[in-house]
Amino acid sequence: DTAVSQTPKYLVTQMGNDKSIKCEQNLGHDTMYWYKQDSKKFLKIMFSYNNKELIINETVPNRFSPKSPDKAHLNLHINSLELGDSAVYFCASSQGDNSGNTIYFGEGSWLTVV
Amino acid sequence: AQSVTQLDSQVPVFEEAPVELRCNYSSSVSVYLFWYVQYPNQGLQLLLKYLSGSTLVKGINGFEAEFNKSQTSFHLRKPSVHISDTAEYFCAVSDRHSGGYQKVTFGIGTKLQVIP
């Protein structure tokens, strides 16, 4: 029973297309995240939502738009895809208070833009 | 602002040998510290974390780490590695006083390569 699940796992698409990645967690957490991991394995936070409210929005292009319909789901929509968007995108979740909570990651979505 | 430095991008080590993966952090306030592991083609999972109390923290798979406040370090150790420990290891830090929500900063990762 997967705790944080994201789909699709692999996505190959052409430049200029629009695509979405979906994420769901069944841990009862109230905070969800999107991270981007580049080819050098560097992991950078993009967004964080707490109870459907955006709380962290790092310097991410406007082409990236997260949407949280409820606290168990956080989807990522990307418009006008560029070559540099190729990366692995990880969804994650944790309890929302700042007490050193563990972050639980999904298995990643491998996005390749050609 | 908080930051994490992992001094070694790759660490090759023979099977059954000990290993230490180094991590230093920078923060103007008290922090929580974490080590996560990423096996090939998988997401990250928690190895161990330091919240408070004893500075020696034990985690899963025989790993441990020691919090050293004076040296701002949180090095990860294992006395005897197995082939299955081959993975990417990420040190991470979060500020204890970040306004009610958690913001974790990850290091660039250290690839542990266990050689048979």
Rounded to the nearest angstrom, the minimum Cα separation between B29 and chain A is: 14
Structure tokens, B50: 């330091």
Q: Taking the CB of residue B72, how many other CB atoms lie within 10 A of it?
A: 16
**What is the per-residue pLDDT for A1?**
64
Q: Shortest Cα distance from B90 to chain A (angstroms)?
A: 9
Distance in angstroms (rounded) separating the CA atoms of residues A106 and B2: 25
pLDDT of res. B16: 97
pLDDT in the model for residue B30: 85
Contacts A4 to B, Cβ<8 Å: 43
Q: What percent of chain B has pLDDT over 70?
A: 97
Q: Does B116 touch chain A (CB under 8 A)?
A: no
Predicted confidence at residue B99, as pLDDT, reads 65
Q: Is the pLDDT of residue A97 over 90?
A: no
Predicted pLDDT at B28: 75
Residue located via tokens 């418009």: A79
SS3 track for chain A: CCCEEEECCEEEECCCCCEEEEEEECCCCCEEEEEEECCCCCEEEEEEEECCEEEEECCCCCCEEEEEEECCEEEEEECCCCHHHCEEEEEEEECCECCCCCCEECCCEEEEEC
Beta-carbon separation of B49 and A102 below 8 A: yes
